[in-house]
Chains A and B, each alone.
Chain A
Amino acid sequence: MSLEELAAQLRRGEIEDRALAEYAAEYVTAGKCFRSKKDD
């Protein structure tokens, strides 16, 4: 599959691959966690 297709799947939340879906879930969790992190 191409990078573009995989990224589009991620953006649409329509990931078919289980391992990638797990990554996507972790990414969302990390995004929420790091929302409060203020760096520079």
Chain B
Amino acid sequence: MKPTPLLLQGQNYLFRSPPKTLDFQEQVHRMGMVDEGDGSPVPCVLVLARSADMEMNELSIALAERGIRMARIDADRCVDLPLTVYTDAPLVELDRWLLRPLLVWRRHFELSALPVEPGTLAGAYAVDQWGAVANWLATRNDWAHVNPTRSTAHLDRLTQLSDAASFGLTVPRTTVTTRPGRTRPGGAHCIVKTSGRHLLEPRPGVQHGLFPRPLETSRSSDAPESAPVIVQQYLPSETELRVFVVGGRCIAYQVDKLDPAQLWVDPDAVRVTPTTVPDRVAAKLLALARYWRVEVAAFDLLVTSKDHVFLEVNVNCDWRWFEHRAEDTLVSDAVHEWVAERFKELLGAGKGR
């Protein structure tokens, strides 16, 4: 019998995300509570996400407060969605609304969330069609994009590390291997982490966590893993930072935890406090964000006695988790303001006509 892959061993984090409408604007429009206008296309922000993306649910309310229409296509609710996308005009007919997206943001629109029967032709068909169309929507040249997929689609964890190093940031020594038992980059103590996503969704709506974990020093098995993992040098650190970059601005939190998995398995034990990053570090992060063409992203850094060490950047980042623990709304406020300003800029440039 094949052993369980290393990163799946002892991972008990499981989250159920039901496909429930939580988007404020969708709700009030469906209920016919909003003045409908004269039937002309309504300029909007178009978000491709999933129902439980609470960052986008909050954005919907924040944009409503500013009178900006936001429309939503969620991966877990898109099957049977009434949708027509015009190719000769930048317009979308979503349900009974004719919309003109000015700004498109794709995040957490994972095909694994589509509620289809696995292993069936009809299921594979729906997933393939939605995958192709979502990719196109997220790259259309006649719309502006937040974190454009064209730039971020290939921003995997290994590319991130080499890019960060080329911008002068320290990175841990790293190997990608199916033989973690034989690999110790930088010394005996190492961390194993996923080279892919932090959450796996083998069935729609059921998400399993894949957390970084210490590589047991006693592990010396030569049996190859079913898939390559990242084995990374363990660096003793004073603390960790999560730095959100929002439209050219850095918002940082200090994250104190006992082990890497605590973020997921024991979040109440994690201490999150607002902090600042030295100017020279912030300048490098902002330069990297510009290079990757990301406007909203989260950097994870280790603070060692000598340096700030780049661990990874997350483009589909969650900020409410950190805000809740820090008891502030700094990132939400910055994101809402940035999106609203960008929308107004595009509207003012005549993109809404």
Contacts and interface: CB of A to CB of B under 8 A. Distances in A.
Given A3-B28, A3-B64, A20-B28, A37 B33 contact: no
Given A39-B198, A40-B317, A17 B33 contact: yes
A35 B61 contact: no
Tell me whether chain A's interface is mostly helix, strand or loop, or mixed: helix
Given A1-B33, A23-B27, A39-B316, A8 B65 contact: yes
B65 A4 contact: yes
Interface in B1-59: 15, 17, 20, 22, 24-25, 27-28, 31, 33-35, 52, 54, 57
B298 interface: yes
Given A11-B61, A30-B20, A30-B52, A2 B67 contact: yes
A37 B52 contact: yes
Nearest to A39: B318
A6 B64 contact: yes
B66 interface: yes
B67 A4 contact: yes
A10 B24 contact: yes
Interface string A1-38: 11110111011000001011001001100110011111
B318 A40 contact: yes
B54 A2 contact: no
Contact of A2 (B34, B263, B321): B34
A40 B22 contact: no
B314 interface: yes
Interface of B: 15, 17, 20, 22, 24-25, 27-28, 31, 33-35, 52, 54, 57, 61, 64-69, 108, 197-199, 209, 263-264, 267, 298, 314-318, 320-321, 324
Interface of A: 1-4, 6-8, 10-11, 17, 19-20, 23, 26-27, 30-31, 34-40
